[in-house]
Structure 1
């Protein structure tokens, strides 16, 4: 085969056979109808494409937004919405290299988690502590404050972010590329870097490149365990015992230098129609205490309940790991085994940070709404509450970041999936809304930020319901739930770097008042 010819930036319009695929993302619930999708391959192409888009006159006044797509995993319609006019797709820009001038590893914004794992690690021995879903694009994952199975050991991805390059739109509609460093003497540039350490993607401009310093080395080997329990064996007391033991374990083990503090778990509280509750866990076995930490963890959780542990027999959210016994394997092999890309389905998601183990009220609500007392006629194997371990190194950040939730021990992701052919979309959305609202009934239906037991929501799992008084009856706005005290500073940064509010959606940073 010959080389792919050098062509002008690719523009895909309606009628092109590629258009249907490129105008949607991972969540099939959201399909856009833009005037065009433009794929960019270099930072300069991104700058020029943005400049052209900003200065065009929309053909349809109802479709004016310009959005940026990397891996396409945005859960809401922020990228692929009905009001989108242009999608700038940076996925062809996916290089990974070492920048000697910057003394940092450079990763382009279209790269995915798997690009970093499979391209950076083999040549450097370094890794980002990113997510298990390796088709997620870093253009969204990093600015959200992405985390993964190495995060209790090494912190968040943004803890290693040193610099970022962004195409920004000036007040006169000209566009320039700027590089912002963590230690920039120019305060405005340092603030732009800070905004990308948890301020969310698609807020300030088009990110083209990230630079990371001090990246950690993942373990040579990890011990991976997958267990499940059959729902039919659970009483409410058994369920309470399981989720309490899980929460208490991670509340107690918060020392990232210890094997137990490095251990990461994912508890899959599936709807009863799935038939099972699942558990995935990984621990560093370069640490000689790693195997014993896994044994102690399983004993702490499984030993607290009567139902016998068995194998996973079905997909649970975005995971299905069928293993006969706990297995030691190279870290990169384990990352591949746990890949959680899942199917391209319709979905709805919600999140919560927990600072303490589950309360009795929360446990009762989850028991009821997972199908034991409410929604007993609801059948959906792919409705669940996923409980990720959190804390340890995450709670001791290396630098100040825009991620403000730095003392939580658990991170929840409510998930429900269905296909576009399913006529019961409203039923699925009602289930997740009602379940979430019941769980946090004591605080207005949401996990309030700075609460005794909760600390808000994760912008990486956006939820437009937080804008709606029917589902958020607390006194906290979505801005506070995501960003806490960082929001005012983010607003000032937004006003300076995106004065025309080009990059906007239902939960984008709103420009702050002029100072």
Structure 2
């Protein structure tokens, strides 16, 4: 089976899970968590009062000196026409293949990143950092801009004290493998090819979120190249405003993070589960699910995936920190509340790494194969899609209204990922991620196919997005960034917006990292 975002979102068949002994189809969180924030996975938000504010470069612009920059890099600099340029500029979504950056710098060291930022500041050429390339708006591949490709900075070091130093270009599957070897875990997303940086900078929702918190909640230190091309170490005690902004303020705003230091936890055994319900039962299941997950223990993370159709269908899946026996009463309670019998139900206890492989859709594949096609033995295929988000603060009063929104559409999913638990025990202003009291994040995802072109898919996505917004309000999740979302800045940042903009103005006064949905 070819693994795409779509097969992961909709759940892989039993054959894809057999190597792990899972007897059924998985309900997966999908590659939604792995989306790059604006500007790419490692571009970051600045701080309000840096120790040394960046000097203005606005008056000293000149044409880009690509030959000079190439000479300063340890890695490659690829220009249009160079062999390998077309592959180097590619991001995850083929809809952005027409983008033509002026140059792609394959950075191998922090000094390479500094040289790129200095060149962008001196010439005013647009600049964006990229590790996984999953930006939903394609911001990590700017037309006529400089792409700072960080995949050469991908090391993962697990220290004796349990902290992990992770290069900004590391993909999640590699992070999980390295942590598992050391008996540790990090709550993060499910898509294996997502870069850890974009996920972290936007918050980081994943299958262990309720138990351990967001990915950004585990961050203790970051190395950042800011707009003045200086390399800074930021933490709660060193440039704390910048550190605050990096935890949920989204990428692409005020610097390029080159490495992260995370707290990790001992790797637990996990039970994965999936319940598929018959067509026509979505309203009953959704109504029961939203009340059920609100009362669930921290150990239980769950999602509800609603697939369009006439009538729509749904499945509930998730991850439990504990045994299959301890999980069973919780699943029984959901089925009773829904008042409908699942057409398929399974649960299976797995090691931490195997559970992450399951959610990645890679149960039958090696870690190397669980990379994008074209990277060594990678087998993950790209997929064209249009997507946006919402945030569910309270249970829907009438789940039938959401069912009506997706009825009749084709190849469109609405994915609700439960929050609460550890996420809700951090204050809304303690980090830049504002949605601490929310019940669930919601992604609206429309596949682009030969039969459903980009315009039709985007139109369907927007129709459902706007209808959902009318039901639950206008909030959204920055890692599912949508260039057409009304009042996007308030939607993504809420009450933290003004503080983030002050941070931006301080660390990037000349708007070196400016882009369409940036904060500078």
- Contact in 1 for aligned 2:432/2:493 (Cα 8 Å): yes
Deviations 1:7-59 (A, max 9, x none): 832112223342222212112222320121110011112112322343347xx
Native 8 Å contact 1:67 1:84 kept in 2: no
* Equivalent of residue 368 in structure 1, options 394, 400, 404: 404
Match of 1:205 in 2: 255
Distance 2:102 2:513 in 1: 17
Q: Contact 2:282 / 2:314 at 8 angstroms: preserved in 1? A: no
TM-score, scaled relative to structure 1: 0.78
In structure 2, the residue matched to 1:217 is 266
Question: 2:477 aligns to what?
Answer: 458
Give the gaps of 5 or more residues in structure 2: 1-72, 362-369, 371-379
Residue 15, structure 1, aligned to residue 46, structure 2: no
Structure 1's 193 and 276: CA in aligned 2 closer, same or farther, altered over 3 A?
same
Partner of 2:234: 180
- Give the aligned partner of residue 339 of structure 1: 360
Deviation (angstroms), 1:403: 1.0
Deviations 1:405-442 (A, max 9, x none): 111121111111114x5563211111111112222325
Kept after mapping to 2: 8 A contact 1:348/1:432: yes
Matched, 1:114 2:150: no
Question: Could you tell me how far apart the structure 2 residues matched to 1:168 and 1:156 are?
Answer: 24
Indicate conservation of the 8 Å contact 2:306/2:312, yes or no.
no
Alignment map for 1:17-96 (pairs within 5 Å):
17-31=83-97, 32-56=99-123, 64-81=125-142, 83-96=143-156
User: Aligned-residue CA RMSD in angstroms?
Assistant: 2.5
Distance 2:135 2:506 in 1: 25
d(CA) in 1 for partners of 2:194, 2:141? 16
The answer to whether the 8 Å contact 2:180/2:352 transfers is no
> Contact 1:202–1:508 (CA<8 Å) still a contact in 2?
yes
Q: Structure 1: any 5+ residue segments left out of the alignment?
A: 1-6, 58-63, 254-259, 312-323, 449-455, 467-471, 511-515
CA distance in 1 between partners of 2:262 and 2:298 (Å): 24
Change (3 A) 1:391 1:84: farther
Aligned-partner Cα distance in 2 for 1:387–1:13: 41
Aligned partner of 1:227 in structure 2 is 275
Q: CA–CA distance in 1 between the matches of 2:123 and 2:488?
A: 32
Residue 19 of structure 2: aligned partner: none
Deviations 1:193-248 (A, max 9, x none): 111001101111111111123x22231x21111221232xx1xxx33211011000
Give 1:108 shift: 0.9
Aligned counterpart for 2:418 among listed residues 383, 389, 395? 389
Q: How many residues align?
A: 430
Q: Which has the higher contact order (CA 8 A, sep 6+)?
A: 2
The change in CA–CA distance for 1:442 and 1:267 in structure 2 (over 3 A counts) is closer
Once residues 489 and 167 of structure 1 are traced to their aligned partners in structure 2, the CA distance between those partners, rounded to angstroms, is 21
Instruction: From 434, 447, 455, give the equivalent of 1:426.
Output: 455
Alpha-carbon separation, structure 2, partners of 1:506 and 1:332:
38
Q: Which residue of 2 aligns with 1:153?
A: 211
- C-alpha distance in 1, partners of 2:439/2:452? 38
- Corresponding residue for residue 435 of structure 2: 405
Q: Does residue 301 of structure 2 align to residue 270 of structure 1?
A: no
Secondary structure of residue in 2 paired with 1:460: helix
Displacement over 6 Å in runs of 4+: none
Structure 1 counterpart of 2:317, from 280, 287, 305: 280
Local SS of the residue matching 1:164: strand
Q: TM-score, normalised by structure 2?
A: 0.77
Is the CA contact (8 Å cut-off) linking 2:129 and 2:149 kept in structure 1? Answer: yes
CA contact (8 A) 1:248 1:357 kept: yes
Secondary structure of 2:206's match?
coil
Deviations 1:430-489 (A, max 9, x none): 11111122223256xxx24xxxxxxx21111111222xxxxx3xxxx3222111121111
Identify the match of residue 347 of structure 2 among 305, 318, 326: 326
Q: What is the rounded CA distance, in whole Å, between the counterparts of 2:355 and 2:266 in structure 1?
A: 15
Which residue does 1:4 correspond to in 2?
none
Where 2:230 maps in the other structure, the secondary structure is strand
Change (3 A) 1:44 1:274: farther
Q: 1:193 to 1:274 in 2, by over 3 A?
A: farther
Match of 1:60 in 2: none
